[in-house]
Amino acid sequence: MNSLEQLYEFLNEWENENKAMIGMKVKNYLIHKNKLTKPIEKIINSYIEEPHITNYGFQSEPK
């Protein structure tokens, strides 16, 4: 990492990948338990697909 901006981008990508992984694990668990309904699946999918960006304590986004 050469700059705070690169670190910031890395952390956001990492967090989005983790969201997708957790969402899929929850879906697979519910499928395994026969508890996955369409409304629950829609909620999980929106959680996975919703972009998440945080500034990790920066006052503003690094430029």
Sequential DSSP letters for 3-57: SHHHHHHHHHHHHHHHHHHHHHHHHHHHHHTT---HHHHHHHHHHHHS-----TT
User: In the chain, what are the domain boundaries?
Assistant: 4-49
Burial letters 23-32, b for 16+ CB under 10 A, else e:
beebbeeeee
Task: List pLDDT tens digits, range 2-57.
Answer: 788 888 888 888 888 899 999 999 999 999 999 999 999 999 999 888 866 666 66
Integer-rounded Cα radius of gyration of the chain? 16
Indicate whether this model's pTM tops 0.85: no
**Residue matched to tokens 């694990």:** 25
pLDDT for residue 38: 96
